[in-house]
Amino acid sequence: MTKYKSISSTFVTVLVFALLACNGGKKVETKTKEENLPSDIVELRADQVKLANIETASIELHSLSGTLKVNGVIAVAPQDLATVCMPLGGFIKSTSMMAGNAVSKGQILAMIENQEFVNIQQSYLEAKSKLEYAEAEYNRHKELYKDDVYSQKNLQEVTANFKSLKSQVNALEQKLLLIGIKVKNLNENTISSCVSIVSPISGYIKTVNINIGKYVDPTDVLFEIVNTDKLFLELTLFDKDIQKISIGQKIRFFINNETEQHDAIVFQTGKSMNADKTYKVYATVSGGCKNVMPGMYVNAIIEATNNKVTALPSEAIVTFEDKDYIFVFDKNKEEGGKLFTEYRMIQVHKGVTDGGYTEIILPKDFDIKTAKVVVKGAYNLLSAKKNAGEMSC
């Protein structure tokens, strides 16, 4: 397939340059003075550069060798995934939430109604009132006991009553906090049969399992909320690759066979093997990734080496007479009122290919810092070189 693709590309390019050289069957202007270009130089006019879709870029360093291709899923830490329930149950009175809504920690998700809420508040206020009286009695009897006015038995009875009421009040206070009622704002005038269900974390609502009027039990899941700001990868590797992975290694991953690349960094490796001789590797997702949600399957490439090599997009390297070459921008010039660009053809040696990039071994005197290499349109330049002098009409 590659051979036929190259032939097709060459044919199209030849046609492009033929059209550039011919103008309605008329003879194209020739230079008044013939210029002999070096054999490794390809020269194009400005309009030809545009037509050939030439793009240049710097040579980059990539970790290509020793990569591992693995599968996994997008996951979140337990503290970034919340399941919202109502400990005492009740009837849903109101809600405006839908799956996908963004919520903040403490934001009201729904209102729930239950007669039991009233009973608990009433019991708490009554017990609290009795406790105030019992505490005063306890303090009074304690002072009288010191003065030998009251017996030890009377003091013990008062003390037991005081401690019993104190335990009762504390228990009811915890029950109120459990259903979301703050006791500091509770008095005989603020008793209500409705309480608010609030979000325990900031994030996005993943699921909504309620509607107005529905009765929910304490074990029912009302909402699921996920914080997508701290996603990580959970990858599955085989035991034979355990020595190739370490904390800090970079990962490139793709979702649902998409072409958009995402990045992650290994932050933890599994400490035990599963029954199928696999183990888990965890990596933090770098940067913001659109449309990435927990539970999605991913295809990942782990860069299992820290040795970086000079590399270019594979399409930037062309083969001519069984040798590999790249084209490098040489200079711009003007002749006869027209702008020209010269590209120099440089022989290289190819190394490992991975992820659309190919390692290249450059000549010793090559300046990697200043060179601008043709990364797009290299085959068009090669075709132009092959067909130099054969474009006249």
Name every residue whose Cβ is closer than 8 Å to that of residue 80 and which is 6 or more positions away in sequence.
201, 203, 226, 227, 229, 230
Q: Say how many CA atoms lie within 13 Å of 391 toward its Cβ.
A: 22
Average pLDDT over every residue of 117-125: 93
Please count the other Cβ atoms lying within 10 Å of the Cβ belonging to residue 238. Answer: 13
Q: Which residues pair with 60 in a beta bridge?
A: 311
Segment holding 119, helix H or strand E? helix 115-146
CB 80 within 8 A of CB 230: yes
Q: How far lies 380's CA from each of 126, 311, 383, in Å?
A: 90, 21, 5
CATH fit for domain 67-79+228-303, picks 2.60.120.430, 3.40.30.10, 2.40.30.170, 3.20.20.450: 2.40.30.170
Cβ–Cβ < 8 Å for 176, 122: no
Whether 48 contacts 207, CB under 8 Å: no
pLDDT tens, residue by residue, 347-367: 999 877 777 888 888 998 898
Distance CA 366, CA 371 (A): 8
Cα separation, 232 vs 224, in Å, equals: 18
pLDDT band for position 214 (50/70/90)?
very high
* Residues 279 and 273: beta-carbon distance below 8 Å: yes
Confidence of residue 149 (pLDDT cuts 50, 70, 90): low
Q: By CB neighbour count within 10 A (0-12 exposed, 13-18 middle, 19+ buried), where does 281 fall?
A: buried
Q: How confident is the model at residue 1 (pLDDT cuts 50, 70, 90)?
A: very low
Statement: residue 7 has pLDDT above 50: no
2-63+309-386 is classed CATH 3.40.50.720: no
Confidence of residue 97 (pLDDT cuts 50, 70, 90): very high
Give, in order, the Cα–Cα distances in Å from 127 to each of 23, 74, 170, 234.
Answer: 101, 50, 10, 51
**Average pLDDT of the chain, as a whole number:** 83
Question: Could you tell me if 213 and 92 are in contact, meaning their C-beta atoms sit under 8 angstroms apart?
Answer: yes
Residue limits of CATH 2.40.50.100 in the chain: 81-225
Question: pLDDT tens across 251-265, in order?
Answer: 888 887 677 888 899
Phi, psi of 9 (to 5 degrees): -60, -40
Residue 382, helix vs strand vs coil: helix
Helices (H), 186-306: none
- The token duo for 98 is 């839908």
User: Which part of the chain has CATH 2.40.30.170?
Assistant: 67-79+228-303
Q: Delimit the CATH 2.40.420.20 region(s) of the chain.
A: 2-63+309-386
Measured CA to CA, the distance from residue 121 to residue 194 in angstroms comes to 11
pLDDT digits (tens, 9 = 90+) for 273-287: 888 888 899 999 887
Lowest mean pLDDT among 166-170, 221-225, 271-275, 328-332: 271-275
> Is residue 191 over pLDDT 90?
yes
Spell out the CATH class of 81-225.
mainly beta
Provide the percentage of residues in the chain whose pLDDT is more than 70: 85
Q: What angle do CA 256, 259, 262 make, to 5 degrees?
A: 80
Q: Which residues of 206-229 are buried (b: 16+ CB within 10 A; e: fewer)?
A: bebebeeeeebeeeeebbbbbbbe
